[in-house]
């Protein structure tokens, strides 16, 4: 009788372990599922001429984007979209923002991160591989206009990647605008899946790294902002951000004592919503910040 009960207990334990393993693998799959969306619209919708571009990352992933020239440009702005968006994300007004940059005398490079928009890939790598994408974009921008400095303007995950890229030695980044960056991918994903038991979430993170090559701890913008040195960074966060607590942005900004870093908490704005809610104030603040980092050398030529 005892042996029979022990056998049944062993079977139940095996079933429980398998069930929890399957649940953790399912969650790991969900954590790394690529949030693919179509690219809706082009700069032509704003009356701008542009060139479709395709460039490769260090790990040979071909990324899709476009390059918009501005006559007499003083810098190139690389726009890095949020994790669930594209280079033309209408929910954050990216096409309009690109148009405004061109009008103000900046070339613009906008591209889709791997697994998003028109760039190949079927997994969200939780920032590790996406950072390689941003570094490739900086290289592309430098090759297109080697005499000009590069600015990074990122949103959400793209803002975190921009801060991280600025800290990479040798990158010619003159300034960063970080709109709603994520301080901790682990904390962010845990908040999104707060109903999942902690041990199951931890196991899912291990499986995400081992099965899907997605390291939830690959990015550390709090450390990166200190390593960015003299690169000025303008932080923006929405007061009512429902996806990323403003505390995350403030924590990143507080990690550096640089006098060149500024922070704006946009009143009543949601996640990456400051530009669409306060377009004139947003552009005024960003332009004033950029003017300090990259002073105008020539009269600004308006295009479009």
- Least Cα distance to 180 among 238, 260, 219 occurs for 238
Q: Which residues pair with 80 in a beta bridge?
A: 111, 154
Burial class for 215, CB neighbours closer than 10 Å (0-12, 13-18, 19+)? middle
Q: In this prediction, what percent of the chain has a pLDDT beyond 90?
A: 75
Task: For 151, list phi and psi in degrees, rounded to 5.
Answer: -110, 145
Query: Quick check: 81 and 87 in contact, CB under 8 A?
Result: yes
Chain centre distance of CA 263: 18
State the pTM of this model. Answer: 0.91
- Sole residue written with tokens 């975190």: 160
SS3 at position 270: coil
Query: Does the pLDDT value for residue 29 go beyond 50?
Result: yes
118-166 pLDDT, tens digit per residue, is: 999 989 999 999 999 999 999 999 999 999 999 999 999 999 999 999 9
71-80 pLDDT, tens digit per residue, is: 999 999 999 9
189-233 pLDDT, tens digit per residue, is: 998 899 999 999 999 999 999 999 999 999 999 999 988 878 999
Sign, CA torsion 184/166/118/89: positive
89-122 pLDDT, tens digit per residue, is: 999 999 999 999 999 999 999 999 999 999 999 8
- Identify the band that residue 302 occupies on the pLDDT scale cut at 50, 70 and 90: very low
DSSP state of 43: G
Give the per-residue pLDDT at 1. 61
- Sole residue written with tokens 């003299």: 230
3-state SS of 82-149 is CCCCCCCCCCCCHHHHHHHHHHCCEEEEEECCCCCCCCCCCECCCCHHHHHHHHHHHHHHHHHCCCCC
- Identify the band that residue 7 occupies on the pLDDT scale cut at 50, 70 and 90: low
Give the per-residue pLDDT at 239. 95
What is the token pair recorded at 115?
């697994």
Residue 40 CA to residue 246 CA, distance in Å, equals: 29
Q: Can you say whether residue 117 is alpha, beta or left, with left for phi > 0 and alpha for psi between -120 and 50 degrees?
A: left
| Domain ranges across the chain | 32-182+219-293
Mark out the alpha helices in the chain (DSSP H runs).
2-31, 94-103, 128-144, 157-166, 185-192, 198-212, 221-227, 246-254, 274-277, 279-293
Q: Residue 250: which residues within 8 A CB-CB, separation 6 or more? A: 235, 237, 263, 265
Give the per-residue pLDDT at 12. 60
Give the per-residue pLDDT at 23. 84
Query: Does the pLDDT value for residue 16 go beyond 70?
Result: no
**In CATH terms, is domain 32-182+219-293 a member of 3.40.50.1820?**
yes
DSSP state of 218: S
């Amino acid at each position: 009788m005892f042996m029979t009960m022990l056998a049944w207990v062993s079977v139940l334990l095996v079933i429980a372990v398998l069930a929890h393993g399957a649940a953790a693998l399912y969650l790991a799959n969900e954590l790394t599922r690529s949030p693919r969306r179509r690219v809706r619209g082009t700069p032509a919708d704003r009356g701008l001429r542009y060139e479709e571009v395709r460039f490769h990352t260090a790990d040979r992933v071909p990324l899709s984007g476009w390059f918009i020239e501005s006559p007499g440009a003083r810098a190139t702005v690389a726009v890095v979209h949020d994790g669930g968006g594209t280079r033309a994300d209408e929910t954050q007004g990216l096409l309009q923002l690109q148009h405004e940059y061109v009008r103000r005398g900046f070339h613009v490079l906008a591209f889709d991160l791997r697994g998003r928009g028109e760039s190949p890939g079927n997994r969200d790598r939780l920032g590790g591989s996406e950072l390689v994408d941003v570094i490739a974009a900086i290289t592309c921008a430098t090759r297109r206009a080697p005499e000009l400095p590069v600015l990074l303007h990122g949103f959400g995950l793209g803002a975190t990647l921009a801060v991280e890229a600025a800290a990479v030695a040798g990158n010619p980044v003159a300034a960063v605008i970080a709109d709603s960056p994520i301080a901790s991918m682990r904390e962010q994903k845990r908040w999104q899946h707060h109903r999942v038991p902690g041990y199951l979430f931890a196991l899912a993170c291990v499986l995400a790294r081992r099965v899907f090559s997605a390291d939830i701890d690959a990015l550390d913008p709090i450390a990166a902002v200190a390593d960015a040195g003299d690169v000025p960074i303008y932080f923006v966060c929405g007061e009512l951000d429902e996806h990323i607590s403003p505390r995350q942005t403030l924590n990143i900004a507080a990690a550096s004592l640089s006098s060149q870093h500024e922070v704006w908490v946009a009143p009543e704005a949601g996640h990456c919503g400051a530009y669409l809610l306060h377009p004139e104030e947003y552009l005024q603040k960003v332009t004033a910040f950029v003017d300090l980092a990259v002073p105008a050398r020539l009269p600004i030529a308006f295009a479009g």
